[in-house]
Every structure is written in C-alpha cells, then in structure tokens.
Amino acid sequence: MIEFLSGMLAVEKGGVTLYEKALNDLMDEDLREQLDEFLEQTRRHVELCEEMLERAGGSAAESTPTAEAAEAKASGLMSVEVPREMTDFNNIQNLVLAETVDNWNWDRLSEMSKMVKDRELRSAIGRAVREVARQERRHVDWNTRTLAEIARQMLTSHEAKSDGEEMREEA
C-alpha cells in the first residue's frame, strides 16, 4: 500500500506541475478558469495522498521506485518542446495522459481499500475517494474534450491556410 500511495502522490504532484505549466504557457485565455480550478483540486489531491501515505506508515519525503518512475514520466512530458502555436495542444495532451493515470489510480485505490485491515486507513481512503473520484473523471473528460477541440481548430486553421495558398497560386 505504501508503494502504491507513494506512486499516486508522485503522479498528483506531477499533475500540479503540468497544470502550472499549462497556465504559464496558456495561449487561449478561455481555458484559464477551468485549468485554475483543476490545479486547485489537484493540489488538494496531493494533500490527501500525503495524509493517506502517512496513515499507511509511509512518508511523503521518502521516494519509492514507483514514485521515481512517475516523477521521470512527468519530467519527460515537461521536457518536450513544441512550436508556440502547438503549446496549448501539447500541454492539454500532457494533462490527458496524467489525468488518465490519476483516474486509474483512484479507481484502483477504491478497489484496494476493501482489503485494508487498518480501520482508520480504510476510512481515510474511503473519504478521499469519495471527494476525488468525480473530480478525476471531470478532469479526464474536460481535458479530452478540450484536446479534441484544439486539434479540430488546428486542422481548420491549417486547411484555411492551405486553401489560401492554393488560391494565390491559381491567381
């Protein structure tokens, strides 16, 4: 349980970093309010993971192999450089990946909690899952829909540019 919670904590911390990056690089201001809300919720998820990890006998200050792998993955996502016009697409795509893992982690935690013998830990997990599960689904759904919309806009913009170039060539 400590290994799993440590990995969850690292993924949630990576999510905070990815939301901060998306907000710092943001080109489409219409996305800001939702990204801000999800950032604050993800910060709360970090707190909950830290609390559960400590109740399980672990420490947020200690790294486990699972946490190290999650940190390396988040670092890899952060390191990708794209042309400026692809910034929102890239950052939202990174959030889709991270939120998919987050959602999976919370689902697994809910299932695993049934096997936890320690009543206090099982209760803390149950409270955290009830608070977070719906938020995580919203995060995945919104980021996925937003990514699809940005991709559609990019395609439409590219087609419009191509059509304009063809018209100039014909003239």
Residue 57 pLDDT exceeds 60: yes
**C-alpha count within 13 angstroms, C-beta hemisphere, residue 168:** 6
pLDDT per residue over 63-109, tens digit each? 899 999 999 999 999 999 999 999 999 999 999 999 999 999 999 99
pLDDT for the residue numbered 156: 87
Query: For the residues 39-59, what does the mean pLDDT come to?
Result: 96
CB-based contact 34:92 (threshold 8 Å) = no
3-state secondary structure of 56: coil
C-alpha to C-alpha distance for 82 and 45, rounded to whole angstroms: 29
Q: So what's the pLDDT on residue 165?
A: 53
Smallest Cα–Cα separation from 9: which of 75, 57, 63? 63
Burial (CB count <10 Å: 0-12, 13-18, 19+), residue 112: middle
Q: Would you tell me how many other CB atoms lie within 10 Å of the CB of residue 126?
A: 15
Please report the pLDDT score of residue 169 as a whole number.
53
Please report which residue ranges of 26-118 form alpha helices under DSSP H.
32-55, 65-79, 87-113
Closest CA to 47 of 72, 19, 12: 12
Q: pLDDT band for 164, please (50, 70, 90 cuts).
A: low
Question: By mean pLDDT, which of 50-64, 104-118, 145-159 is the weakest?
Answer: 145-159
Map out the domains of the chain as residue ranges: 2-170
pLDDT for 168: 54
Q: What is the pLDDT of residues 147-156, one digit of tens each?
A: 999 999 998 8
Per-residue DSSP letter, 114: T
Tell me if 5 sits within 8 A of 89, measured CB to CB: no
Q: What's domain 2-170's superfamily in CATH? A: Ferritin, core subunit, four-helix bundle (1.20.1260.10)
Judge contact between 15 and 102, C-beta under 8 A. Answer: yes
Q: How far is CA 78 from CA 20, 41, 59, 119, 125, in A?
A: 11, 20, 25, 39, 30
Mean model confidence pLDDT for the chain: 92
What pLDDT, on the 0 to 100 scale, is given for residue 170?
Answer: 53
